[in-house]
Amino acid sequence: MSDNSLRSLIHTSLTRHSEQIMTSIKPLGDRVVVQPKPAEEKTESGLYIPDSAKEKPQEGTVVATGPGRVEDGTRIEMTVEEGDDVLYGKYAGTEVTLDGDEYLIMRESDIFGVVEG
């Protein structure tokens, strides 16, 4: 086996292995992990919006939830669940980047509502 084909085989093996390793977040308490919807790139008339003028997204998809909060010794279950599209405040949550994707970690109380339909 030549050096080039051995390198190629090792590179392919490492690439496949790294693709299988996904970082995951398990939120604690009443925290929720939300993946924001992308900001608008163009206006309705077709003009491109520069990054400095883009509005911060206020809608996203829940990707993970904690077990709920404990109040007076009783666990209060979460009302949102994975896959829900939710609305939240412009400055809600803490921004984190995992595997190149942007997420927000926020309390369930920072969510205004679930988008239905």
- What pLDDT tens digit does each residue of the chain (117 aa) get? 555 554 554 444 444 433 444 468 899 999 999 999 987 777 778 777 776 766 777 999 999 999 999 999 999 999 999 999 999 998 999 999 988 899 999 999 999 999 997
- Tell me the backbone φ, ψ of residue 31, rounded to 5 degrees: -90, 150
Task: Give tens-digit pLDDT for 59-72.
Answer: 999 999 999 999 99
Note whether residue 40 is domain-resident. Answer: yes
Amino acid at 81: E
Number of structural domains the chain divides into? 1
pTM of the predicted model over 0.75: no
Query: Cα separation of 27 and 30, whole Å?
Result: 8
List all residues 6 or more positions away from 60 whose beta carbon is below 8 Å from its beta carbon. Answer: 34, 35, 36, 37, 85, 86, 88, 104
- Domain holding 52: CATH number? 2.30.33.40
Note whether residue 39 is domain-resident. Answer: yes
Q: Which domain holds residue 48?
A: 23-115
98 contacts 23 by C-beta, under 8 angstroms: yes
